[in-house]
Structure 1
Amino acid sequence: MASIFTKIINREIPGQIVAEDDHHIAFLDINPLVEGHTLIVPKKEVDYIFDLSDEEYVALQLFAKKVAAGIKAAIPCLRIGVAVIGLEVPHTHIHLVPLNDMDDINFSRPKLNPSAEELSQTKEKIAEQL
């Protein structure tokens, strides 16, 4: 069964896509820790990040680096935090989280619940920087 991320990649369900290339996609987390919280996902459905080939792993990180620069330019923050947890969806993904405080990347705190319009506005701000 396809992961929810594969369904976004295949446009079977909507996603606020900020960047995409032939092998990767970046879209906003619908329940972000902070505004601009973005997921970086390989289009190839692989559950565990360290099961990617070396080439796929490096390409994913380079794509994440490019998107992180766009997020930092669009969302006021000190830097972009990176987290790879991988337990909630069985499809490799990297969380990019704008940071102004260490607590901004605390996954045990309550998540935000932005409206579809707020997510769309954030997507546009980031996409314009990429």
Structure 2
Amino acid sequence: MASIFTRIINREIPGYIIAEDDRYIAFLDISPLVLGHTLVIPKQEVDYIFNLEDDALAGLMVFAKKVAKAVEKAVPCKRIGVSVIGLEVPHTHVHIVPMNSADDVNFTRAKLSPSKEALAEVAEKIRKHL
């Protein structure tokens, strides 16, 4: 069965897509740690990041860098945190998180529940910086 991320890639379910090319896609986390929290994934459904081929892993990180720079310009923050946890969804994903303190990348704290309008607004702000 396709992961929820593959279903977003295939447009079977909606997503707040930030950027996309033929190999990778970035979209907002709908239950973010902070507004602007973005997931960057390969379109190839591979569960564990270190099971990606070397060129796919390198390409993922280069794509994530481009997205991170756009997030940093769009969302007021001191820097961008990057995390790979990979336990929630069996599809490799890199978390790009705007940070003003270390607590902003604390994955054990309660997630936000932003409105669809807030997510659409921040997605548009980020896309303008790509």
TM-score by length of 2: 0.99
Could you say which residue in structure 2 is the equivalent of 1:72? 72
Could you say which residue in structure 2 is the equivalent of 1:37? 37
Counterparts of 1:36 and 1:95, CA distance in 2: 10
Give, as a single letter, the amino acid of the residue that structure 1 aligns with 2:123. Answer: K
Superposed CA offset, 1:55-96 (max 9, x none) = 000000000000000000000001000000000000000000
Identity %: 65
The Cα of 1:19 is off from its aligned counterpart by 0.4
**4+ residue runs over 6 A deviation:** none
List aligned pairs for 1:51-66, cutoff 5 A.
51-66=51-66
Could you say which residue in structure 2 is the equivalent of 1:49? 49
Could you say which residue in structure 2 is the equivalent of 1:85? 85
Counterparts of 1:18 and 1:56, CA distance in 2: 19
Give, as a single letter, the amino acid of the residue that structure 2 aligns with 1:97. Answer: V
Give, as a single letter, the amino acid of the residue that structure 2 aligns with 1:107. Answer: F
The Cα of 1:7 is off from its aligned counterpart by 0.1
Could you say which residue in structure 1 is the equivalent of 2:99? 99
Could you say which residue in structure 2 is the equivalent of 1:25? 25
The Cα of 1:21 is off from its aligned counterpart by 0.6
Could you say which residue in structure 1 is the equivalent of 2:118? 118
The Cα of 1:120 is off from its aligned counterpart by 0.2
| CA-based RMSD | 0.3
Counterparts of 1:36 and 1:118, CA distance in 2: 10
Counterparts of 2:34 and 2:47, CA distance in 1: 25
Give, as a single letter, the amino acid of the residue that structure 2 aligns with 1:98. Answer: P
Give, as a single letter, the amino acid of the residue that structure 2 aligns with 1:108. Answer: T
Superposed CA offset, 1:4-26 (max 9, x none) = 00000000000000000110000
Give, as a single letter, the amino acid of the residue that structure 2 aligns with 1:25. Answer: I
